[in-house]
Amino acid sequence: MRLKACRGQRALTTIGAGQKRKKVEMLFAHLKRILKLGRLRRRRPNGARDEFHLTAAAQNLEKLAKLIPTPMPEPE
């Protein structure tokens, strides 16, 4: 939960902000290390954006695949 800032004061946040930040940082670490997005290979902004979107889509598909239960083998 975030409280509104008054007269130029910084907004106060709850303890959950650190947990959200950690989750986001872990996702970017996964992109950089596992999916090898440490350096973009496309040169122009549109190419870099497209490459990032494709990598993020691959990461989302990986997360979705983990949600699908694996079928149990049928006993013989």
- 49's tokens: 């954006």
Q: What is the C-alpha end-to-end distance of the chain, expressed in Å?
A: 54
pLDDT higher than 60, residue 71? yes
Measured distance CA(6)–CA(48) in Å, rounded: 39
Measured CA to CA in angstroms, residue 2 lies from 9, 14, 41, 51 at distances of 13, 7, 38, 33
Cα–Cα distance measured from residue 76 to residue 73, given in angstroms and rounded to the nearest whole number: 9
pLDDT of residue 48: 85
Mean pLDDT of the chain, nearest integer: 78
State the DSSP code for 2: B
Tens digits of residue pLDDT in 6-40 = 555 555 455 588 888 888 888 888 888 877 777 77
Is the pLDDT higher at 5 or at 59? 59
Output the pTM of the full model.
0.56
Q: Is the pLDDT of residue 53 over 60?
A: yes
Domain ranges in the chain are 16-63
